[in-house]
Structure 1
Amino acid sequence: MALMVDSGRLGTVVGIDAESAFRPMSARRLLVLGGIGLILVGMLFGDIFAVFVLHQNAAKVGESLSSAAHAAVAGDARAVALSFQAVGSFLENRGTKVDTHVHMIAFGYLALMLALFEPWVALRESTRKNLAWTFLFGAWLLPVGVFLIHYVGLAYSPLEAIGWASIFADFGGALVILATLAYLFGVARRFRRPEWAAKEDGLLADRSMAGRVLFAGGLGLVLLGFLHGAYYAGVDLYRHEALDYSLLSEMTSTAAARNGTAVDTAVGEYGELAGEKAVNIAAHAHAIEFGLLAMLLGFFQGYVRLCESWKRNWAWLLLLGSLVLPVFVLLELRLGLLAGGIADAGGLLVILALLAMWIGIVRYTGEMDAGSVSMGARG
């Protein structure tokens, strides 16, 4: 390791050299393995949620909304309040699950980004490692806390409106913020002191076929997601917003007029509208997220200790699943559960490819850091 002495508070700063950049338990390796692990668990949780919770929860929300409307027709204020309380509970249950899924994946992406910036972080290796552990601890604590919010509630909480699960989730978020700010401080410190210029990073110089496949495919997915989002915004978004308002108004007016048939019609149309909005937003978001994931993984293919043919196969499998999921999410309104099942299968393909790459990174023993061109490994 090359040592560089600084008169500031952080003392000796250790430069990153090629032989130690990805050694076992290094900061970069922790962030890469931890980041992919977060994405894996987040995606697996999302797949389970989509199969066993999402549609059932949506049906219960629709039933409760219909019950509230019919209670309003009957003039039963107490039943209306109870029905809306049930809607709130179902939405909280769904919301915490979605937040758990999203935060795990987002923190995984951020961990991979921080791993890319490792050579430019002017902090000691021990400091970077501690920051990596802090980041990962917070990145796991927040989604677990969010998941428990619906079940723990305000039990034994010292605060009136915030439960223990929320407190721990917020603490996890604070740890992630602090670790990220420390990394940004290290990057700024690097650029303020030219003598700390980072050494050439073999990771960014690697252009294997698997990496290029992931870069190109990821860029295509992002472009596809942007195009779909632009189409939805230009063609359907404002129409959906107008329908949202008009259907809610129709529900309230027909309930006030005690027209049960019209209430059922309005509730049914509102459910269809919510489904149409949901699949369009989900398809748009997943295409872009999978594209970004593919491009991030493209940087780390040099650390995947598998033979080139298997690396390419896993890259193509990841891209296939990344395309299948948003396309068939979009087709759910036409094909129903069949499309939902195929979309979940696409997510499973992405999970399998990610797991294979994670295992390959665990197997990595330093070929790139030692300057070897060939991985010399078998898939």
Structure 2
Amino acid sequence: MLSWPGAWVRRADRIDSSSSIQQESTMSRRIEDSWCGVIYGWFVVIGWAVMLGQWLKTYVRHMSSPLFWVLYAVCLVGLVFLAVKVPSAIAHVRKSRAICPHGLRGGNPNKRCERCTEDLEQQRQLLEEARQENERRKRIADSAANLRQEQLRIITEQRLRREDELRSLSPREFEDACSEMFRRLGYSVRQTPYSNDGGKDAVMTKDQRRYVAEFKRFARDKGIGRPHLQKFLAAMRDESADRGFFITTSYFADTAIAYARKNSIELVDAVKLVSMMREAFPDSDVLAVSAMCLNCGEVHAFGLDESAERTCACGQTVVCDVLGEPMSVRSILSMPSCERCGKPLRVVVGRGGKFWGCTGYPNCHFTKDFSAADAEQVGWSADA
């Protein structure tokens, strides 16, 4: 419960104090309401209402007259209007007559004090410089992230051409890597769900022919026998496939080789898989990797046998950590291209969900929806 007279003074003091901390001691004092002030304020308001009623009663013969109540309501509205406007008026007067930190009355709000005006302009310049610096650092951070993703892609493509690296992948990563290999070789690939796939990991088309593929990441000494291929042949028939690819990081037993030869199944063991990876990713010989300084934006090249840290000319430590990172198979997956600048798009997670954003941001602001069709094109789940 508040008293209107007390609230006027308190609200005016609050508005004054928000203008500047330096002027708080010279502009006004805060008056705290007490119970006496609250009771007094409401008595004043009630007294105004009673006096208003008696005054109107003198000029209006009957209180039951509609004219009496109309005038009474209009006057009460006027009192409420004054209750709202008076604190602002008091604050404005006090602010306009406040003594600035340099001793001049009304110097700061009325721009009479040259030193206050200079200080205000200096503050604005500092804020603008800070804003520009934040934007510059954000641009550098975005560029550094894009460069790191590109270096990770190059390193991953190189490592996929090694048999031991292929075995180090998880089953899901191995499926993604093999699917991308076929895309690079000219196939249109639709990956099946990672579980309950019906004995097939991908359905592919090329030159109007239909193919089914199964990817098995096994240890070197765990061979593939005929039972695996019998299950795979059933999946081929379900898809009415012209031919099948059964790919593994191990080897095939003689019974499996004989069975595949009779049923249009092409077997790809670890040695042949490495050869296909080299064909799919031919330009993956990496001699150096790059990292960007987060302070000045300079790009530094690191040899494969060099230290992962270096001091930039600006004094900032530049860290190149992509060589120690595990393979990022998703970094090599085919991405849609930007319709404006032609650079690859990347998946961005925003407040409204996933969408495609250009890797050229902030120079390019192109975006597009992350649809189910796009997810299928790159072998991703739209909900993943």
- TM-score > 0.5 by shorter chain: no
Larger radius of gyration: 2
Between Structure 1 and Structure 2, which shows a larger proportion of helix residues? 1
More strand by share: 2
**TM-score with structure 2 setting the length:** 0.21
- Per the normalisation by structure 1, the TM-score is 0.21
Question: Larger RCO: Structure 1 or Structure 2 (Cα < 8 Å, ≥ 6 residues apart)?
Answer: 1
